[in-house]
Amino acid sequence: MIAMVSALAACSTVPPEEDPVIIKLNQLESRLMRVERILDNQSLVSLANELQQLRGEMAELRNQVETVQFESENARKRQRDLYVDIDTRLNNLEGGAVAVTLPGEEVLPGEEGDDGTTVTDRDAYKAAFGLLEQGRYDEASDAFAAFVTTYPESTLLDNAQYWLAEALYVEREFQRALTEFQRVVELYPESRKIPDAWLKIGYTHYELKDYTRARDALERVIGEHGGSTAARLAGQRLERMSREGN
């Protein structure tokens, strides 16, 4: 016991920088700091790798989204062009062949053609439709509006009224488009454009965020024109609205 006390007393006289216990503690602390630095560096490397991977995935997703958007826009354009082409052919079958107005040779209703003859309602309709086919929607809406005023007795009046509304819809003038689509169903209840007009009334109310009226119009299409393309599209939009909580 006396020897142990003597040893401790001896240790207490050793300077701190020479104390083996303190030296050992300092060594351990240095090692711990090195380990912590290594771990920190490894964490940073890991985070950097994960960040790089996420950036790559985001770039890939962005490319996929852009591809889908491009394909969707092309599909809509093809669908619109096909729709316009079918409408033109049906009108030709209903009223007989008409002369085609070439792009850049449009004439307004009531004007005289190059041969001095007055432009007929079918000539004017074809001219307006040509503008629509070229994607000149603002000019097309003006031409169809002029047609409706100039040829109130034309058998193409319901079609012209519908395409006037359609041109406005494509231009996103939804309030004006809604008024013109409503004129189709109010003024031409026997028109073959009725299912499409009600469908677009539903679409337009949707764009205006009037979801109750949109749903009423779309359900009317399904109830009154079941089995038609318009009814199928109405069902798809109703499903979309349900998913969106509208």
**Least confident range of 66-75, 90-99, 114-123, 215-224:** 90-99
CA distances from 20 to 6, 11, 16, 23, 124 (A): 17, 10, 8, 5, 107
* Claim to verify: residue 96 and residue 132 sit in the same structural domain: yes
Q: For residue 14, give the 3-state DSSP assignment.
A: coil
Looking at residues 131-158, what average pLDDT do you find?
93
How many folded domains does the chain comprise? Answer: 2
Q: Which domain range does residue 186 map to?
A: 78-244
CATH number at residue 204: 1.25.40.10
Mean pLDDT (whole number) for 173-196: 95
Same-domain pairing of 112 and 166: yes
Q: Are residues 32 and 136 in the same domain?
A: no
Q: Are residues 125 and 158 in the same domain?
A: yes
Res 39 pLDDT > 90: no
In a domain, 84, yes or no: yes
One domain for residues 116 and 224: yes
Residue 146 lies in a domain: yes
Residue 142: its pLDDT value, please?
94
Residue 6 within any structural domain of the chain = no
Residues 158, 191 contacting (CB under 8 angstroms): yes
In a domain, 10, yes or no: no
Please work out, in degrees rounded to the nearest 5, the angle formed at the alpha carbon of residue 157 by the alpha carbons of 153 and 159.
160
Q: Report how far residue 26's alpha carbon sits from residue 211's, in angstroms, rounded to the nearest whole number.
A: 74
Residue bearing the bigger pLDDT, 181 or 96: 181
Asked whether residue 11 is domain-assigned, the answer is no
The verdict on 39 and 91 lying in the same domain is no
In a domain, 119, yes or no: yes
- Looking at residue 170, its pLDDT comes to 92
Provide CB contacts within 8 A for 77, sequence distance 6+: none
Which tops the pLDDT comparison, 174 or 59?
174
Residue 146 to residues 28, 37, 55, 88, 223, Cα–Cα distance (Å): 93, 79, 54, 19, 34
Please indicate whether residue 180 or residue 49 has the higher confidence score (pLDDT).
180
Environment class of 228 (CB within 10 Å of its CB; exposed 0-12, middle 13-18, buried 19+): middle
| Average pLDDT of the residues in 235-246 | 93
Q: Establish if 17 belongs to a structural domain.
A: no
Helix (H, G, I), strand (E, B) or coil at 118: strand
Residue at a domain's end among 30, 55, 77 = 77
Do 237 and 201 share a domain, yes or no? Answer: yes
Task: List all residues 6 or more positions away from 130 whose beta carbon is below 8 Å from its beta carbon.
Answer: 100, 101, 102, 103, 106
